[in-house]
Structure 1
Amino acid sequence: MANKLHFSLVSPARELFSGEVDHVIAPGSEGEFGVLANHAPFMTTLKNGVVRVLEGNDVKMRIFVRGGFADVTPEGLTILAEEARMLDKLKVEDVQKELEETHLKIQSLDKEDSTRLTLQEHYDYLESLKAAMVN
């Protein structure tokens, strides 16, 4: 039996996954990277994107993360995401509705309102999430 990688993905809301896998591909801030069992230790920041969990050559799970950190140690890979959503549990219509609601909130604010930037970042995140869902 081939070596397995212990992988854990945690968001502020909850632990989304913890278990043994063959391979994980994640969206590092410097580019996408893959981790297998016995990988050399390192730590990096993540950009918004899809974490793919593989068993053999098959993608078994796709998780969209909004930033965070990845830490590879001799024990495995831990991803601490600012926000994470399981792509197979989302509906495009729900994300589209949230996009529209966020857009309306942005339009209702004065250009100098400090919450505008936060809402725009959330809107950009939702656009990325929707794009990941349809690809």
Structure 2
Amino acid sequence: MADSFNFELVSPEQLLLSEAVSQVIIPGSDGEMTVMAHHAPTMTTIKPGIVSVTTDSGENQRYVVFGGFADILPDGCTLLAESAVRVEDIDHEALKQRIQDTREDLADAKTDADKTRIAEHLNHLETLQNAV
């Protein structure tokens, strides 16, 4: 059995999870990352996506996150999400509305930098919608 470490998933509304886990897969901005015990210290931003958690008991849990950042240390990982919810609790209509709002933001964007940033965010949201 793999060593465990403490993982906390926090949104502005609540602490969703705080327990010993054997691994966490997070949607880092530079790509998906698997975090395990004794991981090198890292801080990364999070893109919208799915966080997969394997608890010490072997249970798999999945959460949808909409951005944020993760602080990874050898003995723990804290993911501070802009918002997060268990996959089975996702509000598909709210996700659809986020996508529509982002499309409108893209249409209203004035600079190339804003258009690029918003288009990337829209792509993440649409990928997420297809995953859930």
Is this a same-fold pair by TM over 0.5?
yes
In 1, are the aligned partners of 2:64 and 2:85 still within 8 Å (CA)? yes
> By how many angstroms is 1:59 displaced?
6.2
SS in 2 for 1:80: strand
Residue 95 in structure 1 maps to residue 130 in structure 2:
no
Change (3 A) 1:96 1:72: same
- TM-score, normalised to structure 2, is 0.72
Q: Distance in 2 between the 1:17 and 1:42 partners?
A: 20
Aligned-residue Cα RMSD (Å) equals 3.2
Per-residue deviation, 1:55: 4.0
Identity %: 41
Could you list the runs of 5+ residues in structure 1 that have no partner in the other structure? none
1:82 aligned onto 2:73:
no
For each residue in 1:9-40, what CA deviation from the matched residue of structure 2 results, as whole angstroms up to 9, or x when unmatched? 00111111110111001011111111111111
- Indicate conservation of the 8 Å contact 1:96/1:130, yes or no: no
Alignment: residue pair count: 121
Change (3 A) 1:101 1:53: closer
For 2:4 and 2:15, how far apart are their aligned partners in 1?
20
1:40 alignment partner in structure 2 = 40
**Partners of 2:28 and 2:98 in 1: CA distance:** 30
- Once the two structures are overlaid, the 10-residue window that deviates more, 1-10 or 19-28, is 1-10
Which structure 2 segments of 5+ residues have no match? 109-114
Q: Compared with structure 1, are the counterparts of its residues 66 and 103 closer, same or farther at alpha carbon in structure 2 (3 Å cutoff)? A: closer
Q: How does 1:13-52 map to 2 (within 5 A)?
A: 13-52=13-52
Runs of 4+ in 1 over 4 A off after TM superposition: 100-104
Aligned residues of 2:20 and 2:55 also touching (Cα < 8 A): no
Query: TM-score scaled by structure 1?
Result: 0.70
User: Who wins on radius of gyration, i.e. which is larger?
Assistant: 1
Q: 1:100 to 1:31 in 2, by over 3 A?
A: closer
| Residue in structure 1 matched with residue 129 of structure 2 by the alignment | 130
